[in-house]
Structure 1
């Protein structure tokens, strides 16, 4: 990255690369599948298309404006750029993580909404929906995703993968990991012959959502 780039941009790019590498190390993507982005003002830093994450360095930063016009770097942005830009245009998110996590993708082929098998759904804003299938990289997929994300911070993409967003990359990634775990849990519980997993009610989930407002450490 050029020395003229602000430190905030350089730092955000490092976090994008670190998160992309983490998604591969945790088995949420294979090869160069999936993508990660972070927003700094009106600039969106996003992983490039078809480049292994372990080869990315400071000089490989890729940045686009909210209109999709590339303003930083020579590598071509991910083909899923419409997904990322749609999230930034329609929400106050500052980070987006898209993966092909195995269990979540499997569930995306089975249901239109992830069953409420655990209160972890509250971390994502409620029952996680599955966006209707559309080819990757298309405006149609971005539109379907936006519908599924309404009131949520994550969704499944039918026969494809996951999308989560957050105020930081750490938060977006944590939501991705929770979504994959939730889907793995439901698949595991659902394979016992003759039995079906018990599910939480919406009232029980709402109770958890309220309790989570006071979860964690107080900010001093």
Structure 2
């Protein structure tokens, strides 16, 4: 590995650890649940299995190739490695975040798709689907997830949690936070006795998606 590659791996690992700690600090995971990964070229840096995020050090970096063969570190990678690798194989993702966020996980037990209660769904590519249940760490779960992620950048995993991806760790994390907020909003609105939340139409959502193409600062 060249000095340039080592530096890229070091920076990526630092980002993975910082993002994992952020999921814990923001209450999106409990203990060692959830996991984070990011690519440094053909190496995927991923959180290890069963190690508290606040104990991870630079020398604890865990890396696998795109086929899942461990090429860096002594700690075992997360048991959800098949899920992460499936996202990288199927998309142009640079980073993946998986959490057990409370409100999103609650919604995953209730509906096959998050109701369109807010235009934030447009930031995830459209109505967020719930992937059919399968045991954690299995190829079946990864396949179910890919079905739910079709034309989306995030999904729910039934009775399990969330998965989002992005072109950076920040983008993947922001999509996770947005999905958790969207689910919390729907649960809050739908809990009022005798009332049902109004929902956006597909046309209204597409209008937002078009507007988002020019959202933010120019350049």
Per the TM superposition, whether the score is higher than 0.5 is yes
Partner of 2:103: 103
How much does 1:179 deviate? 0.1
1:61-84 Cα offsets, whole Å, 9 max, x none, are: 000001000000000000000000
Partner of 1:91: 91
Partner of 2:134: 134
CA distance in 2 between counterparts of 1:4 and 1:168 reads 19
Q: How does 1:65-214 map to 2 (within 5 A)?
A: 65-214=65-214
CA distance in 2 between counterparts of 1:159 and 1:149 reads 17
How much does 1:218 deviate? 1.7
CA distance in 2 between counterparts of 1:144 and 1:117 reads 24
CA distance in 2 between counterparts of 1:6 and 1:143 reads 32
Partner of 1:33: 33
1:161-201 Cα offsets, whole Å, 9 max, x none, are: 00000000000000000000000000000011111000000
Q: Helix, strand or coil: the match of 1:37?
A: strand
Unaligned runs of 5+ in 1: none
How much does 1:5 deviate? 5.5
CA distance in 2 between counterparts of 1:193 and 1:132 reads 29
How much does 1:8 deviate? 1.0
How much does 1:111 deviate? 0.1
Q: Helix, strand or coil: the match of 1:96?
A: strand
Under a length normalisation based on structure 2, what TM-score does the superposition of the two structures give?
Answer: 0.98
CA distance in 2 between counterparts of 1:5 and 1:67 reads 19
How much does 1:42 deviate? 1.0
Unaligned runs of 5+ in 2: none
CA distance in 1 between counterparts of 2:45 and 2:71 reads 10
CA distance in 1 between counterparts of 2:4 and 2:66 reads 21
Q: Are residues 40 and 93 of structure 1, via their aligned partners in 2, closer, same or farther at CA, if it must alter by over 3 Å?
A: same
Q: Does the alignment pair 1:57 with 2:68?
A: no
Give RMSD over aligned pairs: 1.2
How much does 1:4 deviate? 8.6
CA distance in 2 between counterparts of 1:142 and 1:7 reads 31
Under a length normalisation based on structure 1, what TM-score does the superposition of the two structures give?
Answer: 0.97
Partner of 1:21: 21
Q: Helix, strand or coil: the match of 1:164?
A: strand
